[in-house]
A and B are shown apart, each in its own frame.
Chain A
Amino acid sequence: MAIDPLSNARSERRWAFAMVGAAMMMLFAIVWASLSPHMNPPSNIENVDPNTLHIAGEFTEDNLGTQVDAKGRVTTRIVTSQFSFAPECVVVPQDMQVTFRFVSPDVIHGLLVVGTNINTMVVPGYVSQVHTMFDKPGDMLMPCHEFCGLGHSQMVAHVRVVPIADFKPDENGRVACAEH
């Protein structure tokens, strides 16, 4: 086998350029996805006091679940705590923009909805906000995905996606999974 230092160095340099090029292509694809279709992770730095959020403000019990505001915007508010979601089932309309807002009064939680872009940590002290649009009706799984204590495995909720025709807010703009 011929051992030629110059040709070795050349092939090595070529490979290095090719690999840096490949990395740059990946980077380009990621940056494009972030700028053009706005595929960004949830990053709204918005504070909420974990010790008082249940007493006053946006996340008191009456305000939890799905609500349609005067402008027709759909917002779903959920409190995650050891070891359940409140509420454990939420209703959302199909083919409409939905904003989810999550808070935790105790420890770190996290969640995802299978098959969607909903995936966020819920860190005490912060509001986690995710926007999405569901394209199919049905019940979707929303488990807690971050270790929050020994009951973590039991912490599961569901998102019920209904066609717009079946999405009927009451006089306060609220929609819930079950009639009370």
Chain B
Amino acid sequence: MGYVLTTFFIMGFGYFVAESALRQPLPAPRLAWLGFILGIVGTVMVVATVLTGHASVMFTFYPPLTASPIFYLGLVLVVVGSWIWCVLMLVAMMRWKRANPGQPVPLAMYATAANAVLWLWTTIGVAVELLFVVIPAAFGWTQTVDVGLTRTLFSWTLHAIVYFWLIPAYIAFYTIAPQAAGGRLFSDLMARASFILFLLCGLPVGLHHLFMDPEHSTGFKSIQMILTVLVAVPTLLTVFTVTASMETAGRLRGGKGLFGWIGALPWERPMVLATGLSFFMLWFGGFGGLINMSYGMNAMVHNTSWVSAHFHMIFGGSVVIMYFAIAYHIWPSLAGRAAPSVALQRIQLWLWAVGMMVMSMPWHWLGLNGQVRRVAQFDYADPSMSWWTPWMAVSLAGGFVLVVSAALFIWNLVSFHVERSAGVYPAPVKYATALHPDQPVPAALNGFALWNVFVLILMAAAYSYPIAQFFILNPPQAVVHRVDR
């Protein structure tokens, strides 16, 4: 779910943005299809090994647990497919810049390219882990694993990957939602700065997933904790800019007073509704995240259901609901038809938000009371766990609502193609224009060269010793534990 839904959605949306925002054909569409096919083949390999019980290592692998090599090779293919996407995005942006010298790259494309750059940096950690440690062990070429090293390499990827998933939702916040609401983007520059901040602060923070690990010192843990605090800033900037953009829409539609503009927004439009629901869930998910990264306080919640609740709220809730809304928004121009039922789209979005809240809220509470995560079943006969039962039942009910919503989402897309709707040919997707479109964009916010240098410096500061220590101290290794035979 975490790899497949996100990677395929992000690739598809990126190709769409590259064509619709730049108004030029995609470079090398055959390569794009190759990336897609690699992703599909990889996914089949992963799913087959998981379903046949040859890869019960979950999607963070947990070496020295070792699965069938087919599982890891499948993941590699998915990642390689996404690398093709990254290169195509950067080539598309460079071509446009060459054809339009001195012009700012359209924001939607600039942000998509930022995500491609972020993803190339992000995948280095897991790629090194898989290619040099895990896959040799899976083939039986090595018998032991340096567990601290694998955990550290995976942590390199582990946090930035969620920003890779998140950025498409933010692209919709900045460039689609204000347009859908009938307003303007409050500030193009602030949007660019936020995406750059994600690129800079999203990467050198992975050790905050290892606060409770014995193989790192308090020093490097605190350095990365400080950088993690900064990662809250681009989200808080986004809250302001997107709210202000929506306010312009509400006021243009006649909303008055301090809060009157909120009621004046066109909530019947799925993109506007999804943005509202997404922001609502962002408060809970964001708050949970601030607790998680709080170093000492992390001991209260590490590996409890609180963490599951946090990322379901922020990823499953805030981000995925925007994936739905984006799909609804771009499907008419892909299918060449108007939506058969916008009401069903609204119902689907509401069910998703309500289901996610009902499912995740009990987990926050149970997590604070010590309910651990990644557990198949609890011993409810144990007096210290028996009181969890009713809360788990509530959570399960929320899960059922989510299943219904997901099925309805698929139906809503299929219905574009099966129902012979009146077929009003829809207008092509438009992106929001800035309130002050003439504002000059500095060259630094129209490219990535400078920022890549900064990322390199930050990553060197945050990760060089934490990785090098395993080669200096040479800790004892663990014996490979196969789960596939």
Complex CA–CA separation, A148 to B241 (angstroms): 44
Our pick among B240, B439, B476 for the contact of A5 (Cβ within 8 Å) is B439
Decide: B221 and A141 in contact? CB cutoff 8 A.
no
For residue A12, which residues in chain B have a CB less than 8 angstroms away from its CB?
186-187, 190, 240-241, 244
Interface residues of A in 90-137 (CB under 8 A from B): 106-108, 110, 112-115, 117-129
Size band of the A side of the interface? 35 or more
User: Given contacts A47-B475, A112-B372, are A1 and B251 in contact (CB under 8 A)?
Assistant: yes
Query: A170 → chain B, closest Cβ, in Å?
Result: 28
Instruction: Please tell me the number of chain B residues within 8 Å of chain A, measured between CB atoms.
Output: 73
What 13 new A-B contacts, CB under 8 Å, besides A33-B296, A47-B475, A125-B477?
Answer: A3-B435, A30-B297, A41-B218, A41-B296, A41-B299, A45-B469, A50-B478, A121-B213, A145-B372, A146-B374, A148-B65, A153-B377, A153-B378
Decide: B190 and A41 in contact? CB cutoff 8 A.
no
Interface residues of A in 9-68 (CB under 8 A from B): 9, 11-12, 15-16, 19-20, 22-24, 26-27, 29-31, 33-34, 39-51
Decide: B297 and A33 in contact? CB cutoff 8 A.
yes
User: Given contacts A16-B237, A19-B236, are A112 and B251 in contact (CB under 8 A)?
Assistant: no
Decide: A123 and B151 in contact? CB cutoff 8 A.
yes
Interchain residue pairs with CB less than 8 A apart (9): A8-B187, A46-B214, A51-B476, A107-B65, A125-B146, A126-B475, A145-B373, A146-B62, A146-B303
Decide: A34 and B222 in contact? CB cutoff 8 A.
yes
Complex CA–CA separation, A34 to B226 (angstroms): 13
A139 at the interface (CB under 8 A from B): yes
For residue A114, which residues in chain B have a CB less than 8 angstroms away from its CB?
369-370, 384
Query: A78 → chain B, closest Cβ, in Å?
Result: 14
Decide: B372 and A144 in contact? CB cutoff 8 A.
yes
B248 at the interface (CB under 8 A from A): yes
Shortest Cβ distance from A102 into B: residue: B214
B233 at the interface (CB under 8 A from A): yes
B212 at the interface (CB under 8 A from A): yes
A147 at the interface (CB under 8 A from B): yes
Chain A residues packing against B (C-beta within 8 Å): 1, 3, 5, 8-9, 11-12, 15-16, 19-20, 22-24, 26-27, 29-31, 33-34, 39-51, 82, 106-108, 110, 112-115, 117-129, 139-141, 143-150, 152-154, 156
- Residue-wise, chain B 373-398 has the 8 Å CB interface mask toward A (1 for contact) of 11111110010110000000000000
Our pick among A5, A30, A144, A150 for the contact of B436 (Cβ within 8 Å) is A5
Decide: B300 and A143 in contact? CB cutoff 8 A.
no
Our pick among B213, B236, B295 for the contact of A30 (Cβ within 8 Å) is B295
B230 at the interface (CB under 8 A from A): yes
For residue A108, which residues in chain B have a CB less than 8 angstroms away from its CB?
62, 64-65, 147, 151
- Residue-wise, chain B 159-177 has the 8 Å CB interface mask toward A (1 for contact) of 0000000000000000000
Shortest Cβ distance from A39 into B: residue: B296
Decide: A125 and B147 in contact? CB cutoff 8 A.
yes
Shortest Cβ distance from A139 into B: residue: B384
Across the A-B interface, the 4 shortest Cβ-Cβ residue pairs: A39-B296, A114-B370, A124-B478, A145-B372
B484 at the interface (CB under 8 A from A): no
Shortest Cβ distance from A124 into B: residue: B478
Query: B210 → chain A, closest Cβ, in Å?
Result: 8
Our pick among B62, B218, B232, B382 for the contact of A147 (Cβ within 8 Å) is B62
For residue B214, which residues in chain A have a CB less than 8 angstroms away from its CB?
42-46, 120-123, 126-129
Complex CA–CA separation, A31 to B222 (angstroms): 9
Decide: A26 and B295 in contact? CB cutoff 8 A.
no
For residue A117, which residues in chain B have a CB less than 8 angstroms away from its CB?
299-300
For residue A42, which residues in chain B have a CB less than 8 angstroms away from its CB?
212, 214
Our pick among A8, A106, A139, A141 for the contact of B481 (Cβ within 8 Å) is A106
Shortest Cβ distance from A116 into B: residue: B299
